[in-house]
Every structure is written in structure tokens, then in C-alpha cells.
Amino acid sequence: MKIAKKMNSNIARAALTGTKFEPALQLFMSSTAIGYCSTVDVPKLLKVLKKIPQYILLGLIMENRLLHRADIDRVSEMKDITSVRASLCHTLQMGSVNISRTLLANQTALSASLTTLSSGETDKK
């Protein structure tokens, strides 16, 4: 992570107006420092900022979206993408398993009823 020199709102306005980062202008009310990194590791960012108490994290641009502090905390608590994908696959699979069970239960009940009915007719003869 790299932290740029402090900027005031005039420099930020000149640099960010007309770009995809224009919503970040809300954060530049006074002298502000900008940090940037090449990875998307929010828990690591928060860990680094704990070691530098003079900096206060107001916002974060992640995947072209401006996140406020509450959003940043939610993102940092998320699991890694692999475990989220596994959880999603499990959830999607459970729906098909439940449908399969339901369809099979009806078929089994129908088969049992037909077996009972046919054996009852055979006993009457």
C-alpha cells in the first residue's frame, strides 16, 4: 500500500472531475491523504491503518464503487471468494435436492398405494 502526499480539495477537484472517481470528491473537505494498492485486501488495509493512527479512513473506492466506513467494515468481515462460491453452490444444490426428494416421495407414495390397491384386489378374487 502506498500513501500519496496530502492534497487539498482544489487539487482533488482538478484531478478527479470528469473521471470515474468523481464521487470521491465528497471526501476532500480539508487536507487529505490518498492511499492506493494493487490488491483488494480490505482486512490487510485496516490492519495497516491501525499501525498508523494519524490517518483516519473515511472512504474506499473498490471495484469502481465508493464505500463509506460502514460498508468497508462489512466488506472486511466477508469471507474469501472461494468460500462464498462454495456456499452459493451448496445453497443452489440444496434446492434441487429438495425438489428431487419431493418428487421421489410422491412417486414412492403412489407406487405404495398402487401396490396396496392391486394386492387388495387380488385377495378379493
Q: Cα–Cα distance between 19 and 40 in angstroms, integer?
A: 21
What is the rounded distance in angstroms from the CA atom of residue 65 to the CA atom of residue 107? 50
Q: Please report, for the chain, the start and end positions of each structural domain, with discontinuous segments joined by +.
A: 2-77, 79-118
Q: Is the pLDDT of residue 123 over 60?
A: no
What are 30-85's pLDDT values in tens digits? 767 777 777 778 888 888 888 888 877 877 888 878 788 888 888 888 777 888 88
Q: Are 40 and 76 in contact (CB under 8 A)?
A: no
Decide if 7 contacts 35 (C-beta within 8 A). no
Q: Say if pTM beats, i.e. exceeds, 0.75.
A: no
Q: Rounded CA gap, 25 and 16, in Å?
A: 7
